[in-house]
Amino acid sequence: MIIAMDTISWAVLLAAITLIFLFFFSTHLRRRQPNPPPGPKPWPIIGNLNLIGSLPHRSIHSLSQQYGPLIQLYYGSVPVVVASSVPMAKQLLKTHDHSFASRPKIAAGKYTFFNYSAMTWSPYGPYWRFLRKLYLTELFTPKRLDLYEQIRMDEMGLLLRRIYALSGKEIRLKTHLWNANLSFVSRIVMGKKFSDEPGEALEELKKMFEELFFLNGVLDIGDWLPLLGFLDLKGYVKQMKDLGKRFDGFLGKAISEHEMRRRGVETLEENDMVDVLLRLADDPNLEVKLDSMALKGITLVSRRTNLLFFFFG
């Protein structure tokens, strides 16, 4: 019993010392900034996370109304600068873009985008610059976008005809928009009409993308309080790992089908983005080697980007 009490006492003492160290360390880091933007005073350890609710964008909007168009918050020990006006956004995104171009290495990029291999989550550096060049010179060139225009019009026509056929009946518009969107994206990224897939496969992919959008927007406590990361308090990391495995299987199968089609063919017409990526991956002179993980990450982010292009392109 005495031994157990001594163990508990030492554990409490160690925890107290750790908290005191973290408090003074975080305070020291904040004092090193000569002229930080205005913002609420952070608490030890948690920073300003107590001010961020279930809808972070609304919480940040309320804080910007109080402190101005450029504010600094602390997510745990991590400083976050928020611009909430057009002039301030221009300063961050254009005038000082190199200083703010990088991405933090958080769980979403690691587990849902193949270890930060997609441009969305890749830190600023040679690989990120290579991806930007690849998108501008290979995947989204004016010529290729012109080719996508016909596919987009075909899918839009099919969408309108399906809705017209249901005139007078109750229509769940979200379902039709999702189906048309995924069919369009699948055709330009993988050269395959998603409408040809069985209903279960369609529903599964829709569910996967809905989870992807959700998990890439959550506030995972482990990203900002690393000491608590192993707890996975809300289960987000577990969901990310599971989703990453499902996308790995789906994209791996699609890439393998394209590789089999390329075998024994000297000149193959590039019908979709995966064809382009596989051709680049075979180029020995490419400045950055594209491995299987990079191919999957780029393919996934291309699908997500084109979900927006379908409606606004």
d(CA 74, CA 12): 27
Residue 270 maps to which CATH number? 1.10.630.10
Domain of 39?
33-100
pLDDT of 111 higher than 90: yes
Residue 181: its pLDDT value, please?
82
In a domain, 113, yes or no: no
> How many other CB atoms sit within 10 Å of the CB of residue 103?
14
d(CA 123, CA 217): 18
In a domain, 55, yes or no: yes
DSSP symbol at 42: P
pLDDT digits (tens, 9 = 90+) for 251-290: 999 899 888 888 866 666 777 889 899 999 988 888 888 9
pLDDT digits (tens, 9 = 90+) for 138-177: 888 888 888 888 888 888 898 899 899 998 888 888 888 8
d(CA 180, CA 169): 19
In a domain, 25, yes or no: no
Under 8 Å between Cβ of 61 and 75: no
Number of domains, the chain: 2
Under 8 Å between Cβ of 163 and 176: yes
In a domain, 267, yes or no: yes
Q: Which of 48, 79, 100 is the last residue of a domain?
A: 100
- Look at phi and psi of residue 191 and say left if phi exceeds 0, alpha if psi is from -120 to 50, else beta: left
The tokens of 44 are what? 């030890």
DSSP string, 117-169: TSTTTPPSSHHHHHHHHHIIIIIS-HHHHHHHHHHHHHHHHHHHHHHHHTTTS
In a domain, 121, yes or no: no
Residues 6+ apart with CB under 8 A from 133: none
d(CA 136, CA 157): 28
pLDDT of 311 higher than 50: no
Under 8 Å between Cβ of 202 and 185: no
Q: How far does CA 204 lie from the centroid of its chain?
A: 19
Residue 249: its pLDDT value, please?
94
In a domain, 301, yes or no: yes
In a domain, 13, yes or no: no
Residue 60: its pLDDT value, please?
93
Q: Are residues 155 and 303 in the same domain?
A: yes
In a domain, 153, yes or no: yes
The reported pTM is 0.77
pLDDT of 178 higher than 60: yes
d(CA 191, CA 275): 9
Q: Which of 100, 121, 143 is the last residue of a domain?
A: 100
Q: Are residues 223 and 139 in the same domain?
A: yes
